[in-house]
Structure 1
Amino acid sequence: MKKIFKYTLPVLIACPMMLAACSEWTESESITLRYPSIEEQNPELYAQYLKSLNNFKTSEHSIVIVSMNNLSTPPANQSQHLTALPDSVDYICLNNIFDVNKMHITEMDKVRKKGTKVLGLINFDAIESTWQAILEKEAEDASNTETSEKENELESEDETPDEDPAIADARRFIEYCKKETARQLDAINALGTDGIVINFTGFDLNSLLQDEEKTAAETARQGAFFNLLAEWKVAHADKELIFKGSPQNVIGKEILVESKYIIVNAHSAKNLYEMSYLVLMASAKGVPTDRFIMGVTTPYLSNMGDQYGMVNGKSAIVAAAEWTLQEVTDYIKAGISVDGVEQDYFYFNPAKVYPNVREAINILSPTAK
């Protein structure tokens, strides 16, 4: 031992000296370690895996749809990569369709090899919310000046001074909605997705009963949105259309018949009973009942401080999978949809990625990975 120490000690002393000398010659460089993927290590085995995965997705099984709040900037971590999602996911919906980064465009083709389809969000709720903000801004401007510049810019040429402001706003919304819907569809076409997810909440149509004038107004309002989508579907018969929101509030139920799946938004559900109640509410006359998807979210707090994404003290993602397996006779449960899926990547456990989504997949399809 002493002999070993005798020869080792001078080396240990010399090392810092050598490092110090080297630092005077060159700058240190970081080394990027690259590990070969399974595809590179065994291409034949990976090809067999892809074939099996694609066969699974074309077979009858519980569908898993996820939506991602994709950033316009390149992914900063794995939670922002499409390729990091579990392979068994059937659909990935990109919520930001106007500014998709190049990395995601590349990854769209990669996940398609796994049988995963990429969709884009067409959002009526966002159009309506933005329009309300415009009206609020106009009202604020009008309260500050008798003749606001904003009012003059938005005033239609055929609008008369005596026109009812409510009627004028309704007519202006129809034009605004058509413009924004067309803009979203143009973005979808340019992106080249495999289809669209239509997000529409609306309001309870029972409030329109026996009021022909209000019914006609709401029909025109919804038509500004859904008519363009129906035309898009005819022109893109090979693309898929999925409805999301409150189908019972749609006047023209034809668009629901064209939808492959109907996602019932259950972000507010606190237990499995409430999930079932929301589906029963959605099962209005004219709504197909053979394609319901339970729509949940990763946990978040609303602006009012309400907690969403938790059911019976656990993740709503897992609860939705358990709900899907409960047999019913009135309608068909086709699977689950998860909003904000990127938030589940770590979920307080860096050692296990997408833990709730993976657990849900295992519940729905134990043989899937």
Structure 2
Amino acid sequence: MKNYISLHTILCAFLLGASAMLINACSDWNEPETLKFDTIGPESQNPELYARYTESLKEYKKRPHYLVYARLDNAPKVSVSEKDFLRGMPDSLDYVVLTRPEQITDFDREDMKKVQADMGTRILWYADLSKDKDAINKAVSGMSAEGFDGISLSITRTNVPDATQLEKLFASAGPRSKSGKMLFFEGNPADLPTDLHNAFDYIVLNTSGLTTAYDLVFQIDHARQFAGIPSSKLIISAAPEGKLTDIGKESIIGTAGYVVSAGPLAGLGIYNAGNDYYDPQANYKTIRAAIQLLNPSPIK
């Protein structure tokens, strides 16, 4: 009995010690630890091929073609995927409008420099006067400080900027500025005085909520005939998940078709672009298809 008790005591002590070690180990496992990963991009995998590709891409954007631009809801409170970042967007986009430019992060800044230099993509500061009366001043100073390529201004008839604001804006961006910075107008072109048409590079017509091609063509004709916007300055817009019911086509693809058939117009704008990110075959599948439709690649 004595030997049994001694053996039992030793066994219990061993198990208690092992349990303590296991608990401590589990505690260590539960401690969060930052892991570092080195992302190897195509520029590192094959620098020569990547250089040829990016040069070809920049040359394409310099040639006459239908423009495609997208709005990116950058810098959300919590990023959920690559859809929140510039680096994940299609390379063939001509312009990307950051809808939260004042919240620009270091990740945005890093991505901006890369897509501007490598892809020739131009990044615009979105200024919405209906949400911020000081939006133009912030856009002008932010564009310069952060290295944006221009400004996309959204106004309505009830919040048209005063002459002082317009003078500052036109001196900083657009054809009148001679600065090389782009200036887009987003809104109802009927709200834009005729003598200001030539102060903007492009007029973006918000047709993203339309559900029929009939209404789309009506809006295009109204902008040209009533507001006097030339086709060469007019961009029409669409959004993911919409549909032009009378022609049975997805909104982005259907609207892209009318850039050609109702014009030719300057190009296509994509609102809420991030909603097109997820697809089992390829990210931004619909936007890529629209770009290909408007500017077919000679390489199949």
Please indicate the TM-score interval, normalised by the length of the shorter structure. 0.7 to 0.9
Shift of 1:282: 1.3
Instruction: Specify the alignment match of 2:11 in structure 1.
Output: none
- The CA distance in 1 between the partners of 2:46 and 2:80, in whole Å, is 29
Letter in 2 for 1:43: P
Select the residue among 333, 354, 357 that pairs with 2:265: 333
Shift of 1:221: 5.8
Select the residue among 290, 294, 300 that pairs with 1:360: 290
Select the residue among 152, 158, 170 that pairs with 1:197: 152
Which moved further from structure 2: 71-80 or 253-262? Answer: 71-80
Percent identical: 24
Q: How does 1:1-369 map to 2 (within 5 A)?
A: 36-71=40-75, 73=77, 75-112=79-116, 113-127=118-132, 177=133, 179-202=134-157, 223=163, 225-233=165-173, 237-251=179-193, 253-283=194-224, 284=226, 286-299=228-241, 309-312=242-245, 314-326=249-261, 328=263, 332-346=264-278, 349-367=279-297
1:336 aligned counterpart, secondary structure:
strand
- The CA distance in 2 between the partners of 1:35 and 1:191, in whole Å, is 25
Letter in 2 for 1:275: L
1:189 aligned counterpart, secondary structure:
helix
2:232 aligned counterpart, secondary structure:
coil
Shift of 1:73: 4.7
- The CA distance in 2 between the partners of 1:228 and 1:35, in whole Å, is 42
1:93 aligned counterpart, secondary structure:
strand
CA RMSD of aligned residues (A): 3.0
Aligned 8 A contact 2:259 2:267 in 1: yes
Query: Against the structure 1 CA distance between its residues 339 and 187, is the aligned structure 2 distance closer, same or farther, given a 3 Å change threshold?
Result: same
Letter in 1 for 2:139: Q
- TM-score, structure 2 as length reference: 0.79
Shift of 1:24: 5.3
Aligned 8 A contact 2:128 2:154 in 1: yes
1:238 aligned counterpart, secondary structure:
coil
Query: Against the structure 1 CA distance between its residues 340 and 236, is the aligned structure 2 distance closer, same or farther, given a 3 Å change threshold?
Result: farther
Larger relative contact order (CA 8 Å, sep ≥ 6): 1
- The CA distance in 1 between the partners of 2:119 and 2:36, in whole Å, is 28
- The CA distance in 2 between the partners of 1:221 and 1:67, in whole Å, is 23
Aligned 8 A contact 1:264 1:292 in 2: yes
Which moved further from structure 2: 235-244 or 102-111? Answer: 235-244
- TM-score, structure 1 as length reference: 0.65
C-alpha deviations, 1:55-111, integer Å up to 9, x for none?
111111111100112125574411111011111010010011211111001100111
Letter in 1 for 2:266: A
Shift of 1:368: 7.7
- The CA distance in 2 between the partners of 1:368 and 1:199, in whole Å, is 36
- The CA distance in 1 between the partners of 2:147 and 2:197, in whole Å, is 23
Query: Against the structure 1 CA distance between its residues 31 and 70, is the aligned structure 2 distance closer, same or farther, given a 3 Å change threshold?
Result: closer
Query: Against the structure 1 CA distance between its residues 222 and 320, is the aligned structure 2 distance closer, same or farther, given a 3 Å change threshold?
Result: farther
Shift of 1:30: 9.2
Query: Against the structure 1 CA distance between its residues 45 and 279, is the aligned structure 2 distance closer, same or farther, given a 3 Å change threshold?
Result: same
Count of aligned pairs = 269
Letter in 1 for 2:119: K
2:48 aligned counterpart, secondary structure:
helix
Aligned 8 A contact 2:277 2:285 in 1: yes
- The CA distance in 1 between the partners of 2:163 and 2:209, in whole Å, is 28
Shift of 1:188: 2.8
Which moved further from structure 2: 104-113 or 117-126? Answer: 117-126
- The CA distance in 1 between the partners of 2:114 and 2:51, in whole Å, is 13
1:324 aligned counterpart, secondary structure:
helix
- The CA distance in 1 between the partners of 2:100 and 2:149, in whole Å, is 15
Which moved further from structure 2: 237-246 or 81-90? Answer: 237-246
Query: Against the structure 1 CA distance between its residues 270 and 45, is the aligned structure 2 distance closer, same or farther, given a 3 Å change threshold?
Result: same
- The CA distance in 2 between the partners of 1:95 and 1:31, in whole Å, is 31
